[in-house]
A and B are shown apart, each in its own frame.
Chain A
Amino acid sequence: MAVETLTAPPATGRSASAHGSRKPRSREALTAWLFILPSLIGFLVFTAGPVLAAGVISLLDWNLFSPPTWAGLRNFARLGPDPTFWSALGNTAYFTFLSVPLTLLVSLVLALLLNQGLRRVAVFRSLLLLPYATITVAVAFVWIWLYIPHDGLVNAVLGLIGIDGPAWLISDFWAMPALIAMSVWKSFGFGMVVFLAGLQAIPQQLYEAARVDGSSAWQRFRNVTLPMLSPAMFFVVVTSIIGSFQVFDQALIMTNGGPGSRTTTLVMYIYRTGFENYDQGYAAAQSLVLFGFIVVITAAQFLLQRRLVHYDN
């Protein structure tokens, strides 16, 4: 009955204020809008506005100084025969499809370990979150040192087990995996915290019931933990894929896109096109295409979510 009072309009057609309910509801709505407003303004100014502006700029030839001229869809047509664009897209996809599953795996394993009721778990949690909290530039410089072919720690450790490590950041084959390894180390902390929160929200009765039914640890993990954790996993996958498609800073600092163009990512190429080559229209077209890729992939994930993600309620 109370719900009806709040949601249904008055049947008599008399004003709500006659019932004494309009003022509090307006005030609630106003309060809600006030809370939403900063976010909304931020979204309009810093997200929707630039996307719309990019849409307009993508239809122009503009070097920032000379007056822009109309290009129509020519900037989009340039994408097809541009080998650097496709190689950058391929590199970004390679980065994403390796780094996201690896980050997910490492985050999950660490979250499971931390959820075992270890002593001083808060200390471990904080330590493991440190890479995520550290700025990428600093992390990238440290990893450059770790990857030095002859004196670097990574090859020194490999040397202990008889492996002659490669020149990571200048190798055609290893440069991208080296970037991925660094990125996984940098970002697993975020997933770990989300998974840990998800694990702690799983009702213990489900495990007890499974135990009573005689299920093994693996069966409990597969049939209880994974389904109950799937909303958290969905969240981490969506945000990680979006983040990976925008990878830029670590590649710029550690390899500058090389050797050759093996680690040139799409955002790096967009940055160079717009701000080093002063081709604003083409850079805007590239960024809209990237935006389109991310939207399509995220939409596909949301469609799959209905089948793969289990919501308790």
Chain B
Amino acid sequence: MQSQLSRRSLLKLTGLAGLGAAAAGCSSGPPDGTATWSMWSSSPAERKVWDAFGAYVERELGVRSAAMLTPSGGYPTKLDLQLVSGTAGLVTAINGTLIPTYAARGAHQPLDDLIAADPDFDLTDFYQPIRKISSFNGKTYAIGFDVAPTVLYYNKTLLAKQGIPEPSPTEPMPWATFRELAKELTRPPDQYGFTCAPAIDDLVSWIYCAGGNVMNDDATRSILAEPEALEAVQFVVDLFVKDKVTPPIANLVTENSLANFLEGNVAFMQNGPWQVVNVRKAKFDWDVVPFPAGAVGSTPRVSGSGFAIPSGVRGKDLELAWKLLKTLTSTGALDIYAKAGRNNPARLSAGSAFKPPPDNLGIVQQILAGKLAGGHPFDVTSNWNQVKQLLGQDLPRTFLGQVPVRDAIDGLTPRLDVLMQQHQDNVRQATARKG
């Protein structure tokens, strides 16, 4: 027998359903004891790696793993909201450039006590640069999962076509040689010698190789106007403006050195081994060599990322968080990461899992181990976003030939100095909070 639903009953049911939906919406996420971790993920390939990480965590820890994935562009904003609302994972991934920013704001907790209390955990198995990148104010705030120096990619096919011998896989070429080679390989508008992004992230490698930096050792003032840094910026800007060995800049937002290189008509690209996975799609033969050597040698920036534990994680959750962090940065997990070709793993014991192609991929581990050329951990401040924004305003105009390098840097320096003082305030506040 069919019963008719009265209007009143329908309203009641709708109301109950609404309440149920609201209650479900207000629920606090996965049940207690779940190993939750926040991570960025912008492609199906990345997702596959994190799924494999999840399976590894479940196997190792015997608890449910829940990865909270967000596209990389919006990850810091999403992470902020998650941290503020207490909905972040027990462990959160952070790009190395943001570790001091989060640490100074008290968003993540120092891990030194956990490390000291755990005899199973060996920090010395991690490359030294990632240990520096993961520290702030003398404390360790993250454990790395990848670390890599910038290298020089080159199009073997293009060089062979021009009859130019391949560069040495072990001896970094001097800047002057690199410049001449880039000029020789440039045939506008169809072929260019070099590509990089007109931004500080790419410029710093040249600045470090010239013996300069954005800031002094204790980050109290900017030294971008000192001769070493100035020379480096001028050298790269000249490649764009004077020598015109780079593809012309169409706009400053979507300018992409990888896309330029993958076109097949650019001889050299500076980039990290994190792009190996993408460059493997290239329809030409290619390889990597050490970054060109400046006045102090080949010491390009070394970048990395790590896992950290939010400040609010305490008690039993903290125990699980530490176990989870150890598992996510263990040799087994980093082997998965490296085998998928995502990037060079942060542990020495997982290094061999990151396999060629390219043929010379081994130089990445040799550089990190100090056996070949060198590297310089990416020096950042606790307000690096602001520093980057400021540098992102006027430095690109030098690459466009709109402003001379000297004028741009002279204009930027006093404002950079203000940001360095703000950074010092942040450090002081973080120190006081700790006390």
Give residues in A with beta carbon < 8 Å to B: 63-66, 144, 147-150, 152, 167, 169-170, 172, 253-261, 272, 275-278
Interface CB pairs A-B, < 8 A, 18: A63-B105, A64-B105, A65-B106, A147-B250, A167-B248, A169-B250, A170-B249, A172-B397, A255-B253, A258-B252, A258-B397, A259-B396, A259-B400, A276-B385, A276-B386, A277-B389, A278-B101, A278-B385
A81 to chain B, nearest CB (A): 11
Q: In the complex, which residues of chain B have a beta carbon less than 8 angstroms from the beta carbon of A63?
A: 105
Tell me the bound Cα distance from A64 to B392 in angstroms.
25
> Quick one: which of B84, B248, B429 contacts A150, CB cutoff 8 A?
B248
Tell me the bound Cα distance from A148 to B259 in angstroms.
15
Tell me the bound Cα distance from A147 to B252 in angstroms.
12
> Quick one: which of A144, A261, A275 contacts B251, CB cutoff 8 A?
A144
Q: In the complex, which residues of chain B have a beta carbon less than 8 angstroms from the beta carbon of A254?
A: 251, 253
A135 to chain B, nearest CB (A): 16
Q: In the complex, which residues of chain A have a beta carbon less than 8 angstroms from the beta carbon of B249?
A: 167, 170
Tell me the bound Cα distance from A258 to B249 in angstroms.
13
Q: In the complex, which residues of chain B have a beta carbon less than 8 angstroms from the beta carbon of A261?
A: 393
Q: In the complex, which residues of chain B have a beta carbon less than 8 angstroms from the beta carbon of A260?
A: 393-394, 397, 402-403
Residues A255 and B252 in contact, CB atoms below 8 Å apart: yes
Residue of B nearest to A253 (CB): B253
Residue of A nearest to B249 (CB): A170
Q: In the complex, which residues of chain B have a beta carbon less than 8 angstroms from the beta carbon of A257?
A: 393
Residues A144 and B253 in contact, CB atoms below 8 Å apart: yes
A65-B106, A277-B386 as given contacts; A147 in contact with B251, CB under 8 Å: yes
Q: In the complex, which residues of chain B have a beta carbon less than 8 angstroms from the beta carbon of A272?
A: 385, 389
Known A-B contacts: A66-B106, A254-B253. Give 19 more (CB < 8 A): A63-B105, A64-B84, A65-B106, A65-B107, A150-B250, A167-B248, A167-B251, A170-B251, A170-B252, A253-B253, A255-B252, A256-B252, A257-B393, A258-B393, A258-B397, A260-B402, A272-B389, A277-B389, A278-B80
B356 to chain A, nearest CB (A): 36
A149-B248, A167-B250 as given contacts; A66 in contact with B84, CB under 8 Å: no
Q: In the complex, which residues of chain A have a beta carbon less than 8 angstroms from the beta carbon of B311?
A: 65
Tell me the bound Cα distance from A169 to B402 in angstroms.
13
Residues B105 and A66 in contact, CB atoms below 8 Å apart: yes
In the assembled complex, B254 has its CB within 8 A of some CB on chain A: yes
A255-B253, A259-B400, A277-B383 as given contacts; A65 in contact with B248, CB under 8 Å: no
In the assembled complex, B7 has its CB within 8 A of some CB on chain A: no
Q: In the complex, which residues of chain A have a beta carbon less than 8 angstroms from the beta carbon of B402?
A: 172, 259-260
Tell me the bound Cα distance from A144 to B253 in angstroms.
9
In the assembled complex, B433 has its CB within 8 A of some CB on chain A: yes
In the assembled complex, B83 has its CB within 8 A of some CB on chain A: yes
Residues A65 and B105 in contact, CB atoms below 8 Å apart: yes
| B413-435 at interface with A (beta carbon < 8 Å) | 429, 433
Q: In the complex, which residues of chain A have a beta carbon less than 8 angstroms from the beta carbon of B393?
A: 257-258, 260-261
Q: In the complex, which residues of chain A have a beta carbon less than 8 angstroms from the beta carbon of B84?
A: 64-65
A83 to chain B, nearest CB (A): 9
A13 to chain B, nearest CB (A): 38
A150-B189, A276-B389 as given contacts; A255 in contact with B106, CB under 8 Å: no
Tell me the bound Cα distance from A152 to B254 in angstroms.
14
Q: In the complex, which residues of chain B have a beta carbon less than 8 angstroms from the beta carbon of A275?
A: 77, 80
A150 to chain B, nearest CB (A): 7
Tell me the bound Cα distance from A260 to B415 in angstroms.
14
Tell me the bound Cα distance from A172 to B401 in angstroms.
11
Q: In the complex, which residues of chain B have a beta carbon less than 8 angstroms from the beta carbon of A255?
A: 251-253
In the A-B complex, the 4 residue pairs with the smallest Cβ-Cβ separation, listed nearest first, are A169-B251, A65-B105, A276-B385, A65-B107
Residue of B nearest to A271 (CB): B77
| B378-402 at interface with A (beta carbon < 8 Å) | 383, 385-386, 389, 392-394, 396-397, 400, 402
